Structure 1
Amino acid sequence: MGEMTRKAGDATDRAESSDWLDHAVRAGLVAYGVVHLMIAWIALQLALGDQSGSASSTGALQQLTDEPFGELAIWLIAIGMLLLVVWRVLEAVGGHRGEEGKDLWLKRASSVLKGVIYAVIGWSAVQVATGSGSKGGSDDTTATVMNMSGGQFMVGLAGVLVIAYGVGQIVRAWTEKFREHLTAEGKSGEAGTAYIWFGKAGYAAKGVAIGIVGGLFLYAAYTHQAKKSGGLDQALHKVLQQPYGPVMLGVIAVGIGCYGLFCFARARHLSR
């Protein structure tokens, strides 16, 4: 068993250090950036009064189908997300070798979580491309969980975890920890300064939006009303309903767009 574990670790090391994985990650990050730019565009339209689109990854993909070569683009996004899932699986299985103890397991758990996020977007892309997407919303899933034994607690816990993740994104923006994802060249000069600002705005905006999603889940658990929960689209609509909502939503939309641009910068100056 020890020999098999060692061989598996060696295989993972070879895969993680290979050029093909670099190319795969770059392609995936470009696809991820496109999705965020589309979400940002829909959110900006929402802030300006057009509520015809859904400001979510699925909504962004659906809007992309109306563009020339839209279906091809969606399939490329699905492939890009799959490549990112492969990368995160390799990280979760044998990556982060420089870490030990609790830090190692936290890093690997983070890789799993990111892999799940990429997988969800990728599966949404496949559903949109094949026309098999479900019409049910996130509140349907929440209602199913809520009706389980201990479901109210699980929905509340999910809300806490989502808020924690959102706060983590804001902390990354404040501390500029995301700089580790760029090579030295990607952090230098005027271009590097722009990339850093894209990252700061992008991570902060994503953190705020994700935190609101978590808050919706907490409120749904507290009131025992699944329809009070929601995904990114519902969260941005909540922002719109607040005083100066269109302005705040516009700022978040620009921030999400900046995250998309940072994904492009990261793809060009990749540091894994």
Structure 2
Amino acid sequence: MSAPKSLARAAENSTVLRGLARAGYIVLGVVHVVIGLVAISIVTGGGGTADQSGAMAQIRKTPIGLLLLWLIVLGLLALAIWQIVEAVVERGPDPRKRWGYRAKFIGTAVAYLAIAWTALVYALGGQSNSVQSSEAFTAKLLARPGGVILVALLGLVISAIGVAFIVRGFTRAFTKHLDLPSGVARPGIVTFGVVGYVAKGIAVGVAGILFVVAAFTHDPHKAGGLDGALHTLATLPFGAVILWVVGAGLVIYGVFCFARARYARM
């Protein structure tokens, strides 16, 4: 057995890492609950940015905000490490499917690390703007040779991730990674998972579409990330209702993450 796999298996058997990774799902849930509440506040005329940077800004305003931010950093870092461990350790008899799973785990780890980095910035007293970062990144890509194609491909990939969330929700594929209890709690957790995955998929999918729009219009300001996606939903016919439902769905996804912390297979 290679050294990386030996280390990964040792980490996989670590009770401490497993416990911290479960805590990571809890703080991930907190972040999504806050994002969902900010999204709902957009409908009611409130302020705030409905993405991870906006969530961290809201969390820092609370009496225990600094403590919560450090817990988010620690929990999501542990969760990212757990995803990397899962990517290294071989799973399943079919080597062709292993690489697909590994890519999924690595991609998820990168997403968790990005949120953890945002939390770290705010914990250290700084601030960030996800919308401006997204627009600046898009502008740099558009300025490169073939930039339009790169931005369009990025948008398609993000949209595909959104679709994957929606499919995972409707097919209840997420239940394969949970040891759900029997009794009345089981259908409730599954329902929260379905609603949460679909809501998050819609938000992520729209964010991806905005990147495609930015590519074909040569306007980096169109790529507003998650916050831009939610504000775009608000401009649609019945947009206030749609945004309220998606925001509530993100809150529900956050609550599902709390249950996931308890019942995730690790």
Which of the five TM-score ranges fits, normalised by the shorter chain? over 0.9
How far apart are residue 99 of structure 1 and its match? 4.5
Return the match for 1:60 from 50, 55, 59: 55
2: distance between equivalents of 1:98 and 1:25?
22
Q: Structure 2: any 5+ residue segments left out of the alignment? A: none
Alignment of 1:1-272 (within 5 A): 6-50=2-46, 52-95=47-90, 97-135=91-129, 136-185=132-181, 188-272=182-266
Q: Is the 8 A contact 2:135 2:220 kept in 1?
A: yes
RMSD (CA atoms)? 1.3
Using the TM superposition, name which of 84-93 and 57-66 deviates more. Answer: 84-93
Deviation per residue, 1:132-183 (Å, 9 max, x gap) = 3345331111101111121111100000100111110011011101112221
Q: Is the 8 A contact 2:18 2:82 kept in 1?
A: no
Q: Structure 2 length as normaliser, TM-score?
A: 0.95
Q: Structure 1 length as normaliser, TM-score?
A: 0.93
Please give the secondary structure, in 2, of the residue aligned with 1:137.
helix
Please give the secondary structure, in 2, of the residue aligned with 1:149.
coil
**One-letter code of the match for 1:183?**
D
**One-letter code of the match for 2:121?**
Q
Q: Is the 8 A contact 1:30 1:267 kept in 2?
A: yes
Q: Is the 8 A contact 2:53 2:128 kept in 1?
A: no
1: distance between equivalents of 2:21 and 2:58?
25
Deviation per residue, 1:14-38 (Å, 9 max, x gap) = 3213322320211110110000000
> What is the total number of aligned residue pairs between the two structures?
264
2: distance between equivalents of 1:184 and 1:76?
26
1: distance between equivalents of 2:167 and 2:201?
9
2: distance between equivalents of 1:129 and 1:99?
43
Q: Is the 8 A contact 2:211 2:223 kept in 1?
A: yes
2: distance between equivalents of 1:259 and 1:110?
19
Deviation per residue, 1:64-94 (Å, 9 max, x gap) = 1111111111111111111111111112222
Q: Is the 8 A contact 2:23 2:261 kept in 1?
A: yes
How far apart are residue 260 of structure 1 and its match? 0.5
How far apart are residue 223 of structure 1 and its match? 1.1
Using the TM superposition, name which of 37-46 and 124-133 deviates more. Answer: 124-133
Q: Is the 8 A contact 1:181 1:266 kept in 2?
A: no
